[in-house]
Amino acid sequence: MNNIKLLLINTIGLTGADLLLPKLSLYDEIAMLPGQNFSIFGDNLYRAHEYNGWECADIFDSLSRSLYTKEGKIWMGLTKNMKEEERNAYPKELHKKIFTQKINRSREFTSIIKAYILSYYEALGFDNSKRVFAAWFSHNVLLNQDHYKKFSEQVVVIHVSCTISLWLTYISQTRTWDCSKAIRFWLVNNLYTLMYSLEKGNTLIVNTDDLIYSEINLMKQIEDFLSITNNKTSHNPSVGFIKVNNQIIKEQSQISSQIDEIYRDNGLYKLAITFNEWSYSFIEQDYIKEMLGEFSNFWNSTSHTNFDWIGPVGESIIQEIVDFNKVTNLKNFSYTFYHEYFELNSDHYDQVNSNLHHYLGCLEDKIIVPPLPFFIRICIEYLTSAAKNSIKLGHSYISFKKGRIYLTLNTPEFQNKITRFGLRTQFEELERFLSEAEKACKQ
């Protein structure tokens, strides 16, 4: 066990890193733990773990926790991607027994999770004699690394990023995020990772886009980095890893193109696209490294997990980025519509603040509408606000139902999304206000 290194698959959030795990699980040298693991400690997500004074059984229970959506679906934990019968077949008690035997008196996080990973494979009856790496996947672990002794010496890191348009698409699939603010999160966290990789070494930064479009080249890069062969085995467990859905990947790629059209004139978005061109020279500045270190300290003292709020330290770093690159912003009408006429973010996703109360007519044709919660919610609010105004001032009215926004929302694709994203009540309320507006204009 002492000769086996730890391999962290790190990401700053939803980057599609899950797609890499089943690929890595096929290698004889890698004991790849399925699911998203060790992301919660106590009641706080993505922060440092401290197990001094804990009993072995309690440590196992902490590491084994799963988190669920309000609908009861697992979104974090070892069994996240397992089918029900696979969850039932997982020998958790045997895993726990082997883990408690392996852990001995150690309370270091790195030793503990290595024991957890290897004992999982032993519990399933697999031979670990050929293992070189015990690997796990989690979010924002690098922001915690200062809390772990000799982390950079004991852990090899593959950091999985993705292009900004694809990342904004991924994070927006089920949650309401202000994408214009979330770009800041992407920039600051990727800067921190780059700084870590340059200062600590043992880090490979890869891109999900390469996994999707040039898998062979990417896997060869990973093999070279880890110094492993491409000999793969059928003796590793296939359960618990995400199954690739090409239709979903195709849809996400299409939405990513829409996101790019909306945000491509935004200065920070352009810097995210050109990240490799300026980031290296930017973090050579000692005071920027100090600020990124302060951001890590700030992160570990808080409990927020918002992609669209990076806090005062993060905002200071963003200002330095803007000044360093002499950023200028341009606008297109879609961006103006979503981010100047309305305000909506993860802290008040149930309440849209509106500065627009009139129907836009033919200008609707210029508005790009991605099938994501943030954009759909604003489009519903836009038509609702205009309808309410028409009810109050019913002397002049044109049917909004003939416009592109309403017709888009009424398509089968968007109706399915409206139901899936929990926006059915808001859409039915819109329909009611539209009916009242049409009645008011005839009086």
Domain spans of the chain? Answer: 5-253, 333-440
- For the segment 93-148, what is each residue's pLDDT rounded down to a tens digit? 999 999 999 998 889 999 999 999 999 999 999 989 889 999 999 999 999 999 99
Give the pair of three-digit tokens for residue 262. Answer: 């909306």
Burial class (CB in 10 A: 0-12, 13-18, 19+), 411: exposed
How far apart CA 264 and CA 79 sit, in angstroms, is 38
Q: Rounded to an integer, what is the distance from CA 114 to the centroid of its chain?
A: 25
- For the segment 291-312, what is each residue's pLDDT rounded down to a tens digit? 999 999 999 999 988 999 999 9
Phi, psi of 29 (to 5 degrees): -80, -10
Give the pair of three-digit tokens for residue 319. Answer: 């200002």
Residue type, 441: C
How far apart CA 272 and CA 179 sit, in angstroms, is 13
On whether the CB atoms of residues 23 and 208 are closer than 8 A, the answer is no
Q: 203 pairs with which residues across the strands?
A: 157
pLDDT score at 324: 97
How far apart CA 121 and CA 237 sit, in angstroms, is 8
- Contacting residues for 96 by C-beta, under 8 A, at least 6 apart: 57, 60, 64
At 139, which helix (H) or strand (E)? Answer: strand 133-139
- Contacting residues for 174 by C-beta, under 8 A, at least 6 apart: 373, 421
Quick one: CA dihedral 205, 180, 43, 65, positive or negative? negative
Residue type, 316: S
Helix/strand/coil for 426: helix
pLDDT score at 442: 73
How far apart CA 164 and CA 259 sit, in angstroms, is 9
The parts of the chain modelled with pLDDT lower than 70 are 1, 231-237, 394-395, 443
Closest alpha carbon to 95 in 54, 68, 63, 67: 63
At 334, which helix (H) or strand (E)? Answer: helix 333-339
What CATH number does domain 5-253 carry, 3.40.50, 1.10.357, 3.40.1710, 3.40.140?
A: 3.40.50
- Return the HEC string of 65-121: CCEECCCCCEEEECCCCCCHHHHHHCCHHHHHHHHHHHHCCCCCHHHHHHHHHHHHH
Helix/strand/coil for 262: helix
pLDDT score at 441: 77
Give the pair of three-digit tokens for residue 29. Answer: 């040298």
